[in-house]
Amino acid sequence: MRYEWDRDPDIIEGEYEVIDEWDAGGTHDSWENADIRLDPSPPYVTYTILGLNVAVWLVMSFIGTVFDISLNHQLLYFGAKVNELIAEGEYWRLFTAMFLHVGVMHLLFNSYALYVYGPIVEKLYGKIRFVIIYVLSGLMGSLFSYLFSPNPAAGASGAIFGLMGSLLYFRKRRRNTFQRAFGPGLFIIIGINLLFGFIQPGIDNWGHIGGLIGGFLAANAVGLYRERRLSDKAVVWALIVIIFALGLWIGQRKYGKRVMYIDNGYCVPRYEASFYGEGYMPYDNCPSYIDLRTIAAFRGGNFFDIGR
- The distance from CA 184 to its chain's CA centroid, rounded to whole angstroms, is 25
- The distance from CA 265 to its chain's CA centroid, rounded to whole angstroms, is 32
Direct distance between the N- and C-terminal alpha carbons of the chain, in angstroms, rounded to an integer: 12
Catalytic residue set: 157, 208
How far is the CA of 95 from the CAs of 100, 121, 142, 245, in angstroms?
Answer: 10, 20, 8, 15
Element (H, E) at 291: strand 290-291
Whether the Cβ atoms of residue 151 and residue 97 lie closer than 8 Å to each other: no
- Judging by beta carbons within 10 Å of its beta carbon (0-12, 13-18, 19+), is residue 21 exposed, middle or buried? exposed
